[in-house]
Structure 1
Amino acid sequence: MPSLCWNKEVFFLKRTLRVPALLAAGALIAALLSPAALAGESSGVPVARDLSFTTYKNTALTERFSALDPEGELLTYQLVRKPARGAVTMPEEGSDTFVYTPYENKTGKDSFTYVAVDASGNTSQPATVSLVIEKPKTKVTYADLDGHTAANAAIRLAEEGLFVGECLGGAYFFRPDEPMERSEFVSLLAQAAGLEGLDVSATGFADDDAIPDWAKPYVASTLKAGVLQGTVDASGQAVFRPDDPITWAEASVLVDRALQITDVAEPTMGVDLSAAPVWAAQSGANLESVGLLQAENGGALTLSGSLTRGEGAQLLCGALDVLAEREESFWPFW
């Protein structure tokens, strides 16, 4: 039985295959093809999306509302019907972010509704946020994640056996706001995507000596699978740069390749990828189409900056959801 305390020799635990799906892609398609969406597109009225989330007992969930506006106007959001098993708050009036806090020790299903309002005062039809409050299947709790947006994702990774944070003095720490290193992200992504680590002593990268031993099996497997390509340094050699923070653009391309998402012809209505790196724009559009990325209010999806450990955990959990939904939607022919 592996220790739950973190060290880089036992950094990754064996993955289990019980993954709850959130139906992000299906919800997006349903929203786009619904009568309300079609009417909204022709009339300039925004269309709010139905959303589904899972949280854990006594753990707050921070998420964003989602809506489409045919004219690309800035949107504000309003609650219509309150939930029964928890409370919803917004950082400020009209914010696109909400915090759902389950009432103490409550579990089960819950829901609430909201609307989107554009700058002209046009209001969408109400959309439903469906919630499931689960009892965690891990005893790991983090001392530095109370109220943090990544709290659910961190618990999920521990629950799935993918990652457990550092154990100090009997308390666990996730360090959610620190940058996520390329070696960490690639290793976690490989396991989430079901790519078994290869038994290798060298990866073939020119900076192989800098790659931690615990990461080499997963760097090698993602390289072999075509998920990872590395970069070229000033001397023309292929390098991995294991200790560098991974950027949103890099992570988007890696996740897109690992999940083998079908290229979308163009981004969702109202999404602007013109500021994203050219080499990552298609991956950004693909991830947005299945609900793994969400544009800022106003439509921009820049893929700029580096991922924090908390953001990396959230992106990886989203990837798990996409894979789980594929498994659940597969129906064999007899």
Structure 2
Amino acid sequence: MQAEPFADVPSYDWAYEPVTMLQQMDIINGYENNEFKPERNITRAEFITMTANALSLKPVSTDLSFYDKNQIPDWASQSMQTAVQAGLIDGYEDGSLRPNQPISRTEIVTILVKGFHLPAATNYSLKYTDRDAIPNWAVNYVRTAATEGLVDGYEDGSFAPNNPAKRSEVASILYKAIMMD
């Protein structure tokens, strides 16, 4: 049975196709009242769950060593464990995973480049006006994602690497990654 399209993502919305396709592929879910909440910041747990679904990662159970592991929602626990085991996420230097924190645009790009095993693009010059704000550890991941057409900048030419990612943005980037895989 095909899911009813989300009430808050009308057919004329720029994110309609990726959101609808990911919903039909059982990669994303919405909230109560059949809403997707496209402009809401996506949490790390939500993003990891979507990504694990998109990559069809085989679920694994592992004991996570993060001090905030008890904050992982039940519905995301298996995906978070699997993503850690697969090397998609490492957590933060302070020993936390921060599952309910919004995930940055840089972090989503890094995880998707790793997860989809995209070839490194080291000879591509980033054109974003705020390229100097991209953390050093993420420059090659952002470069690869830009080269592969996964991400575009904003109208002002920025990438906004440290901004929280919106659910609609993630749907678009994730859908592009799936379609090129």
Q: TM-score, normalised by structure 1?
A: 0.50
Mapped partners of 2:126, 2:60: distance in 1: 41
Aligned-partner Cα distance in 2 for 1:305–1:269: 18
Q: How many residues align?
A: 179
Q: Which has the higher strand share?
A: 1
**Contact 2:126 / 2:143 at 8 angstroms: preserved in 1?**
no
Indicate yes or no: 2:28 matched with 1:163. Answer: yes
In 1, the alpha carbon distance for the partners of 2:125 and 2:180 equals 18
Q: Provide the residue aligned with 1:219 in structure 2.
A: 80
* Structure 1 counterpart of 2:2, one-letter code: T
Note closer, same or farther for the CA distance 1:209–1:196 as it changes in structure 2 (3 Å cut): same
1:144 and 1:248 map into 2 onto residues whose CA distance is 23
Q: Give the aligned CA root-mean-square deviation in angstroms.
A: 2.1
Greater displacement, 217-226 / 299-308: 299-308
1:246 Cα deviation from its structure 2 partner: 0.5
Indicate the residue corresponding to 2:116 in structure 1: 259
Higher relative contact order (CA 8 A, sep 6+): 2
1: distance between equivalents of 2:108 and 2:119?
17
What SS does the corresponding residue of 1:143 show, helix, strand or coil? Answer: coil
Question: Shift in Å at residue 300 of structure 1?
Answer: 4.4
Offset, 1:166: 2.5
After TM superposition, the runs of 4+ consecutive aligned structure 1 residues lying more than 4 A away are 268-272, 296-300
Compute the displacement of 1:227 (Å). 1.0
Deviation at 1:174, TM superposition (A): 0.7
What is aligned with 1:67? none
Structure 1's 297 and 189: CA in aligned 2 closer, same or farther, altered over 3 A?
same
Where does residue 197 of structure 1 map in the other structure?
59
The 2-side partners of 1:197 and 1:320 are apart by 19
Give the match for residue 242 of structure 1. Answer: 99
| Structure 2 residue runs without a partner (length 5+) | none
SS of 2:175's equivalent in the other structure is: helix
Indicate if the aligned counterparts of 1:196 and 1:218 stay in contact, CA closer than 8 A: no
Match of 2:2 in 1: 138
Q: TM-score, normalised by structure 2?
A: 0.88
Rounded Cα–Cα distance in structure 2 between residues aligned with 1:183 and 1:287: 21
Contact 1:138 1:155 in 2 (8 A): no
The answer to whether the Cα contact below 8 Å between 1:203 and 1:216 also exists between their aligned partners in 2 is: no
- For 1:205, what is the secondary structure of its paired residue? coil
CA distance in structure 2 between the partners assigned to 1:244 and 1:269 by the alignment: 27
Segments of structure 1 that go 5 or more residues without pairing to the other structure are: 1-136, 324-334
1:175 aligns with 37
The structure-2 alpha-carbon separation of the partners of 1:315 and 1:161, relative to structure 1 and needing over 3 Å to count, comes to same
Aligned to 2:173: 315
* CA shift in 2, pair 1:141/1:251, >3 Å: same
Offset at residue 252 of structure 1 (A): 1.1
